[in-house]
Amino acid sequence: MTLAPVKTEALPLFEQPKKTQCERLLAHFDEGGSITSLEAYIEFGITQLATRISELEEKGHRFARPRIKTATGKTVCRYSLER
């Protein structure tokens, strides 16, 4: 039994690997966005936002972290890129 040769040409655009969580966050921040942990989970499926922020900080990005109160009285962090 012989195996078919493996294709080595570039993948079509629709088969390209998806952006990483950090790449998606940076795109969101570059558009002027800010985000909380809950929003990151809902919009991007990111469950560890603080870890992704730390990874981006290690690459030289700087973030503002104001603490805000939600409608239910919970205090959360809203991350945004410092400009």
The architecture CATH gives domain 19-81: Orthogonal Bundle (1.10)
DSSP SS3 for 80: strand
Q: Cβ contacts of residue 49 below 8 Å, gap of 6+?
A: 35, 36, 37, 40, 41, 79
DSSP strand pairing (34-35 vs 63-64) = unpaired
The per-residue pLDDT for 83 is 77
Full-model pTM: 0.74
pLDDT tens for the chain, residues 1 to 83:
555 555 555 555 555 568 899 999 999 999 999 999 999 999 999 999 999 999 999 999 999 999 999 999 999 999 999 97
For the chain, domain boundaries: 19-81
